[in-house]
Structure 1
Amino acid sequence: MEILRVFNNNVVLAKDDDGTEIVLTGRGIGFQGKPGKPIDATKIVRKFVPSDGRDPDHLAQMLAGIEPETVRLVIDALREAGLEELAGNTTVIASLSDHIDNALRRLADDTHITYPLRAEVSNLYPDEFAQGQRLLAAVNTRLAAAGRTTLPDDEATALAMHLVNAGFATGDLSYTYTMTGVIQQMMTIIEATFNIVFDRDSVNVSRFITHVRYLFVRIRQNNQLADEPAPIIHAITQSYPRAMQCAQRIAAILEMRLDANLTQDEIAYLALHIARVSGISE
């Protein structure tokens, strides 16, 4: 392995033996390093391989601004919280480490922020919210053991949002925040259309949100449903005309909010799920 770029004494961008660009961290790994110089393997603590076509320089730059101890803290806490599969995800580790590092800096500066989406996050993403609470507890256990100030309970909301974001394979939380607002808007439109009030904790609502989340993933990946059997789409359209009208209204919202046009297949399946969650029979 050889150095491609030194970001600081603890982070370098390197070329692996197979030519892959990787980010290496370790105390002193970049000290007096220069492009083309071989890596001292004894100084490597962690190796980060950028995934999903992400820019290695961006990842290295992010990690260079984070205390190495924070990265270790996040990886250990993920494992303790039962999120072992995420402990090897470069994007998740980098985004969580960046968030927690900034949260610790805010504590040191006596700066406090609130997360107004706590109710929405706990309602729309109960699994990730529970995971965020476990992750925060694991982080705080380690901070307390080191004699450091622990993070406030509100941080569970932010951690949960990062875990939701992991499903979109992106380090940018803006899409997840947008998705949260759009889901709330969708639920409001359905309630107004059918003159109902949802029990947001019901199984039916949970199933609907799950479908919508998968829809967002397909939109994000440019992989919308488009080749479904025509008789099925026709049957849905004919069986649920009001739900189709509602789905078309929502599709218009998605076009504005996400800059994405839904296929007719996606609109039909959305209508089917709207009919189910609304308990209508047309």
Structure 2
Amino acid sequence: MKILRVLNNNAVVVHHGDREKIIFGPGIGFQKGKNDPVNQKKIEKIFSMEEETPKFEQLLKTLPIEVIEVGEEIISYAEGVMHLPLSDHIHISIIDHLAFALERIKQGFTIENKLLHEIKALYQEEYSIGVWAIQKIKKDLGVELPEDEAGHIALHLHTAKLQTGSMEETMHRTSLIQELIQIVEDRAGLELADRGMSYHRLVVHLNFALSRAEDGKVFDDMDPEMLELIQTKYEKAYAVAYELADYVKQEAGLPFPLPEIGYIALHIQRILSNQSIS
């Protein structure tokens, strides 16, 4: 395996199989040039992003090596914790994002994440990795990033899971859930993010309800008598749940069947009951 291009001391481009690939390893490009052999013992990662490769090469050439290294360590840590490979594009998205976030902090800007509460509830594992990442950045780079940044990192990691859709789709789903939570908050007169498990359960159920609706799965796991009882005994909660279903139909074109609305009403009723005894 021979080097085609040296990107920096720790990354080189080689011809491997029938395509060009980027190889990472400590010192693998140090004092090396075209056609020099690759030190096999130094190889840590080999991957190809096909049409994305030129953009990644540009990042490797222009960004500080310490930012690239911490980004790669975050990716490796995430793959180890989640026990699955992430898409190759994560090498661009995480490193590019971190460089931008660090530059914003350096310039005195505030990093905010309006979806933080929903991200923490929906993507718990990814968020915990995001927390580890900002601690790692503080230790290695001496830059303290806010908790909001852990949420941003979590979104990138979730999107990089294979077959989970694009960042745009992830953001749209999370934003829609936030809008639904806002409706419940307005009707209940409280901030649900401070309500612990009741909030968490509602967010998770809404996420699954949206997935079922997108997949065209009919959710009818509720006895008709139980549904009727919910409609009469928990009238306010059911009315709010029905309003959520109407909002989803208008904004996303997704139908919630009555049993789904009934279960959502039970989650809302739990929140209303907790409110009455708090």
* Runs of at least 5 residues in structure 2 that lack an aligned partner in the other structure: 274-278
| Corresponding position of 1:212 | 206
Write the distance in 2 (CA, Å) between the matches of 1:270 and 1:7. Answer: 58
Q: Displacement, 1:121? A: 0.8
SS at match of 1:47: strand
CA contact (8 A) 1:132 1:159 kept: yes
Write the distance in 1 (CA, Å) between the matches of 2:107 and 2:154. Answer: 24
Question: Identity of paired residues, percent?
Answer: 15
- Whether 1:186 and 2:180 are equivalent positions in the alignment is yes
Write the distance in 2 (CA, Å) between the matches of 1:202 and 1:216. Answer: 22
Q: Displacement, 1:77? A: 4.2
* Runs of at least 5 residues in structure 1 that lack an aligned partner in the other structure: 34-38, 51-55, 144-149
TM-score using structure 2 length:
0.64
Write the distance in 2 (CA, Å) between the matches of 1:231 and 1:132. Answer: 36
| Corresponding position of 1:238 | 228
Distance 1:198 1:172, change over 3 A: same
| Corresponding position of 1:95 | 93
- Whether 1:75 and 2:67 are equivalent positions in the alignment is no
Write the distance in 1 (CA, Å) between the matches of 2:14 and 2:206. Answer: 38
- Whether 1:277 and 2:268 are equivalent positions in the alignment is yes
| Corresponding position of 1:136 | 134
Q: Displacement, 1:232? A: 2.6
CA contact (8 A) 1:132 1:157 kept: no
Q: Displacement, 1:199? A: 4.5
Q: Displacement, 1:98? A: 1.9
Which string of whole-angstrom CA distances, capped at 9 and with x for unpartnered residues, describes residues 148-192 of structure 1?
xx33322x4233233145334368544444344322321232244
| Corresponding position of 1:36 | none
Q: Displacement, 1:125? A: 0.9
Distance 1:223 1:255, change over 3 A: same
- Whether 1:160 and 2:156 are equivalent positions in the alignment is no
Which string of whole-angstrom CA distances, capped at 9 and with x for unpartnered residues, describes residues 218-238 of structure 1?
56xx53533x4x463745643
TM-score using structure 1 length:
0.63
Distance 1:8 1:71, change over 3 A: closer
Distance 1:251 1:167, change over 3 A: farther
- State the number of aligned residues: 249
| Corresponding position of 1:117 | 113
CA contact (8 A) 1:208 1:273 kept: yes
